[in-house]
Amino acid sequence: MLMPAPIDAALDNLTRIVLVVKKDRKLRLWFDGLSKKAAPDRRHEIIVMCAKMRAEGEDAGLIAVFQLLADERVFEAARVALAE
């Protein structure tokens, strides 16, 4: 059985982030607000949101995907994809 390449998994996760954010107005406003913050503040807010999602019993896979936004490269790629 073939294992997905790390780049494939990364692209799948990025696609999932973009689709979820595009479909949810509140998430889109949250994401747009993050774009205006300095990287350390953005990372902190993402960590806090993921902790809140975990406490509310949200899907663990979705939380893991959102945690990826704490990485500046992933956030920037998502920002560019959402801008298109």
* pLDDT of 7 above 80: no
Could you tell me if residue 11 is inside a domain?
yes
45 part of a folded domain: yes
Domain annotation covers residue 10: yes
Q: What is the pLDDT of residue 47?
A: 95
Q: What is the mean pLDDT of the chain?
A: 87
Its domain, for residue 25, covers 6-83
Read off the pLDDT of each residue in 19-38 and give the average, rounded to a whole number: 93
Q: Is residue 77 part of a domain?
A: yes
Residue-wise pLDDT tens digits, 43-59: 999 999 999 999 999 98
Residue 1 covered by a domain: no
User: Count of domains in the chain?
Assistant: 1
Confidence (pTM):
0.79
Return the HEC string of the chain.
CCCCCHHHHHHHHHHHHHHHHHHCHHHHHHHHHHHCCCHHHHHHHHHHHHHHHHHCCCCHHHHHHHHHHHCHHHHHHHHHHHHC
Q: How confident is the model at residue 5 (pLDDT cuts 50, 70, 90)?
A: low
